[in-house]
Structures are given as structure tokens and as C-alpha cells.
Chain A
Amino acid sequence: QSALTQPPSASGSPGQSVTISCTGTSSDVGGYNYVSWYQQHPGKAPKLMIYEVSKRPSGVPDRFSGSKSGNTASLTVSGLQAEDEADYYCSSYAGSNTPYVFGTGTKVTVL
């Protein structure tokens, strides 16, 4: 199972929006509504930000939103804040023997 494809980097100024893509295939992203997004600050464990394409766990600000079209999922961070600077990873269910396949990761920089 190959990793999902994400852009290596993305950036925006405080208050702006940034959107990160996550491209897979019909066997993972396109085939199921089990796409999640994780935020990881340096030296820390990942934190779940979005699950089932567009749902937010309790405590995650509504500035974070998710969507999916075909084989590509997207994470949008609106109203960028300094603390949003981190690495972001998508993941998807990829069939019964592969519950998780992760994306290549995107480093978000707040300018």
C-alpha cells in the first residue's frame, strides 16, 4: 500500500486560510469516508483534527474543516494562527487488511 500524496509545504499569513490536499486512489481515499487528519508539532505525538472526512473531535476549533472529492481529500485551516504551524498528515482506510495508510505529510508555515 503506497502512501497518500500530500504537498511538502504550505503557508499563509495570520488570519488567512490554507488548504492541504491528500491524493489517493479509489482503493483508499476515493473508496471510503474514513479520511482523518492529524496535526503534529515538533517532538510531540500526533493529534487528531478531523475524522470521517469532515467531523471534528471535541475541542478542535471550527477553523479546521475537511472535505473530499473523488480520490482527493482536503484540510482547510481558516483564520491561521501562529500555533497552527505544524506538520499535518492525512490518513485513510485502505481495505480490511490495511486500516490506516498515511499521507506523506505537509509542513504548514505561518508567515
Chain B
Amino acid sequence: EVQLVESGGGLVQPGGSLRLSCAASGFTFSSYEMNWVRQAPGKGLEWVSYISSSGSTIYYADSVKGRFTISRDNAKNSLYLQMNSLRAEDTAVYYCARDLTGLGELSLGYWGQGTLVTVSS
């Protein structure tokens, strides 16, 4: 069974940093592209970042470019999101998500339960 478990969320002051983790199990992690998607309270979904299976290709949404860094450790079956220079508008539930089959269908078939990041003084 595919499982994605996020951790690392919490309360942080504006300008601060936080590192999110996503522990993957139930599949060959190194074979799949991964993404972070966030959802502000009461708002819609927003794609944040993508990383290829090897980690060699990375994309970011304009809203986080230059402040967030996605990475992965295939030996540890883990995905990370380093978030720096946090702003109030970064407050959201952050989900890690995997594509459905790994065959490039560009659909997020598996999601974690999310971790809440609150940026406030």
C-alpha cells in the first residue's frame, strides 16, 4: 500500500525557516516523480514544487521561487521542502503527492495527509 506521511509543520515567525519531510513507503520511491502542493485555510489547491525521480529536474511555482528548495533522498525514501523567508501567505496545509503510475500521465494519484504550516508573529 502506498503511504506518504508528511511531518515538520508548525508555527514559525515571518522571515523564519522550516523544513518539511515526506516519508514514502509501499512503492519504489526512486522510480517516481514527486510534488508538493499546498492549500491555504479555506482556499484552493496550489502546486508548489516538482522533483524528478533522480532529483535532476526541479520546478517551482513563481510564488515560492528563490525561497523554497525541494530535494529528495532516494536511499531514505524521503522527500523534503526547505522553506526560507516565510511569509504570512505561506500559511497552508502542505501535501506531498506522487503521480499515479510513474508513466508520465501528470496526475497526482497518491497524497499524504498534509502538515500545517502557520506563519505568524
Q: Chain A 73-108 against B: per-residue CB contact (8 Å), 1 yes, 0 no?
A: 000000000000000010101000111111111000
For the complex, is B47 an interface residue (Cβ under 8 Å from A)?
yes
- Do residues A89 and B100 form an inter-chain contact, with CB atoms below 8 A? no
User: Footprint of B on A, CB under 8 Å?
Assistant: 1, 3, 34, 36, 38, 40, 45-48, 51-52, 55, 57, 89, 91, 93, 97-105
- Do residues B46 and A102 form an inter-chain contact, with CB atoms below 8 A? yes
State how many residues of chain B have any CB contact under 8 Å with chain A: 21
The residue from B59, B109, B111, B112 contacting A98, defined by CB atoms under 8 A apart: B59
User: Footprint of A on B, CB under 8 Å?
Assistant: 35, 37, 44-47, 50, 59, 61-62, 95, 100, 105-109, 111-114
- Do residues A102 and B45 form an inter-chain contact, with CB atoms below 8 A? yes
Taking the closest CB of chain B, its distance from the CB of A103, in whole angstroms, is 7
- Do residues A99 and B106 form an inter-chain contact, with CB atoms below 8 A? yes
Residue ID in chain B nearest A95 by CB atoms:
B59
Residue ID in chain B nearest A45 by CB atoms:
B111
- Do residues B113 and A93 form an inter-chain contact, with CB atoms below 8 A? no
| Residue in A36, A52, A104 whose Cβ sees the most chain B Cβ within 10 Å | A36
